[in-house]
């Protein structure tokens, strides 16, 4: 996919996530569309540009969510790098892998956040509160992954047809 | 070879960005400005686009809500008529009290608070993490919003404006761990500090063991502390614990406002601004 298309997608995900959380929160949560996009970029792009997108999206989420600037950005960069590594082993079109992706990246993002909170000693006793939300967040992200990833894969194939073989041929699982 | 150099470069850039992210976090925490210039820029750029894009969705949602509301309305009309009758009686009683209050104020030569016309704003985003309780509203400096303005709904006090940009503002909710409001128990006048915990309930701290507090008591702002005006409902006591060894009681308060369902809020100047304006002769 081309950079401007990713920029448009990033802004769309940002609005969708914020709109969902403001209008239709489920247990106070919403699918993490921006995190899904970062994961998809990690799985398919592997490039430096994706890193900057992950960082920028994280900073934007921090600003809009009221979290300390940098917290989400760091979590997204860790997710992006992890997804590059995962793409060497798994096939992005595999549904079991997409389910695994939703679970792992949600847990990874939450763990990174917990690690940062612990590092900065911001508020004691928040760990159980954050951990309690993980199953719901995984479930929401799982549904979002199963809907969003096929759309993103089709978009990727449609906008850059030559890349399909290059990206998806090294099937390991 | 080229691939391994690229991978090495990617990791170096990733590490640099992680360090940069942690640097932003550290400097924001050091300065006590949890939004930072970068965050304010993002909010300024994002808010106008968000307002335009989400307008049709919000209108459709409002229409759907309106339809559901109309269905429920017929039952509510009867209930409201009954309430109206009882409120009319109460209103006459309050008129008497107001007249008495005025007489007493005159007696004490007490200057009444200026009438403040509230500003209204829509909630456009909520805190995305459980450890931070904030909302983003669609009005900013250009609409007359200032830092430390008090944010309310008809259900009670919500919090105060912590960050303002030209077209949006961030509100720190009373349930946030960084929030503290001087409060009193309405029934017994036991006073304490309502401290947010970034959880569903807040904690009413410094309530002496001898103070009279019961589950169900209403907690209101005391007006002490320089920011929040007194008399605004904060929440209801849901838990009271006292042990013989502790100096203070453990009191938990459930805010009356459902923060996850907020759509519109009202803003009034904080006590500092109000008193400054009165001092400068700007008060009405």
The ipTM is 0.76
In this complex, is the C-beta atom of A128 within 8 Å of any C-beta atom belonging to chain B? no
Q: How far apart are CA A80 and CA A145, in angstroms?
A: 15
Chain B interface, best mutation among A70, A75, A82, A125, by max B CB count within 10 A: A70
Cβ atoms of B217 and B207 closer than 8 Å = no
Q: What is the pLDDT of residues A101-138, one digit of tens each?
A: 788 878 877 777 677 666 665 555 666 666 777 788 88
Cβ atoms of B270 and B232 closer than 8 Å = no
- Picking from A67, A69, A58, A68, the residue whose alpha carbon sits closest to that of residue A34 is A58
Overall size of chain A counted in residues? 173
Q: Can you list the positions of beta strands (E) in B138-185?
A: 150-153, 156-164, 169-173, 180-185
In this complex, is the C-beta atom of A62 within 8 Å of any C-beta atom belonging to chain B? yes
In this complex, is the C-beta atom of A166 within 8 Å of any C-beta atom belonging to chain B? no
Q: How far apart are CA B8 and CA B19, in angstroms?
A: 17
Query: CA angle at residue B30 from A78 to A111, to 5 degrees?
Result: 25
Q: How far apart are CA A66 and CA B51, in angstroms?
A: 18
**Domain residue spans in chain A?**
3-168
Q: How many CB atoms lie within 10 A of CB A27?
A: 13
Q: Which chain B residues are within 8 Å of A73, Cβ to Cβ?
A: 17, 21, 24
Q: What is the pLDDT of residues B205-229, one digit of tens each?
A: 999 888 889 998 989 988 887 788 8
Query: What is the mean predicted confidence (pLDDT) over B26-49?
Result: 75
Query: What is the mean predicted confidence (pLDDT) over B20-49?
Result: 76
| Domain at A3-168: CATH architecture | Orthogonal Bundle (1.10)
Fold entry, domain B119-284:
Thrombin, subunit H (2.40.10)
- Closest residue in B to A75 (Cα) is B18
Backbone φ, ψ for residue B83 (5° rounding): -60, -40
Predicted local confidence at residue B280, as pLDDT: 46
């Amino acid at each position: 996919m081309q950079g401007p298309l990713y920029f448009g997608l990033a802004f769309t995900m940002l609005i969708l996530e914020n709109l969902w959380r403001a209008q239709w929160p489920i247990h106070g949560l919403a699918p993490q569309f921006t995190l899904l996009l970062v994961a998809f970029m990690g799985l398919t792009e592997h490039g430096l540009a994706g890193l900057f997108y992950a960082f920028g999206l994280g900073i934007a989420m921090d600003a809009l969510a009221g979290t300390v600037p940098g917290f989400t950005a760091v979590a997204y960069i860790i997710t992006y790098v992890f997804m590059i590594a995962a793409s060497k082993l798994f096939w992005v079109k595999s549904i079991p892998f997409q389910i695994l992706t939703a679970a792992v990246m949600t847990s990874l993002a939450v763990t990174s956040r917990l690690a940062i909170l612990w590092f900065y000693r911001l508020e004691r006793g928040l760990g159980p509160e954050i951990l309690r939300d993980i199953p719901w967040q995984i479930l929401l992200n799982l549904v979002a992954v199963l809907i969003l990833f096929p759309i993103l894969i089709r978009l990727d194939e449609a906008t850059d047809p030559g890349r399909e073989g290059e990206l998806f041929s090294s099937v390991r699982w | 070879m080229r691939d391994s150099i690229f991978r090495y470069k990617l990791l170096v850039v990733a590490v640099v960005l992680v360090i940069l992210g942690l640097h932003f976090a550290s400097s924001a925490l050091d300065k006590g400005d949890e939004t930072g210039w970068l965050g304010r820029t993002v909010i300024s750029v994002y808010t106008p686009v968000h307002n335009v894009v989400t307008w049709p969705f919000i209108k459709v949602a409002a229409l759907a809500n309106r339809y559901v509301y109309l269905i429920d309305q017929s039952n509510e009309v009867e209930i409201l008529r009954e309430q109206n009758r009882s409120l009319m009686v109460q209103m006459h009683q309050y008129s008497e009290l107001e007249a008495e209050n005025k007489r007493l104020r005159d007696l004490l030569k007490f200057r009444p608070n200026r009438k403040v016309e509230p500003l209204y704003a829509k909630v456009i985003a909520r805190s995305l993490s459980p450890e931070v309780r904030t909302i983003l509203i669609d009005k900013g400096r250009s609409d007359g919003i200032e830092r430390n303005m008090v944010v309310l709904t008809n259900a009670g006090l919500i919090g105060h404006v912590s960050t303002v940009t030209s077209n949006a503002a961030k509100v720190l909710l009373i349930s946030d761990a960084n929030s503290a409001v001087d409060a009193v128990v309405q029934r017994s006048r036991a006073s304490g500090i309502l401290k947010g915990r970034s959880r569903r309930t807040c904690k009413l701290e410094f309530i002496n063991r001898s103070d009279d507090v019961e589950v169900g008591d209403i907690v209101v702002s005391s007006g002490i502390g320089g920011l929040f005006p007194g008399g605004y409902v904060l929440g209801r006591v849901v838990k009271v614990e006292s042990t013989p060894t502790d100096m203070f009681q453990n009191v938990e308060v459930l805010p009356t406002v459902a923060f996850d369902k907020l759509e519109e809020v009202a803003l009034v100047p904080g006590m500092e601004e109000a008193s400054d304006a009165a001092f400068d002769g700007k008060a009405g």
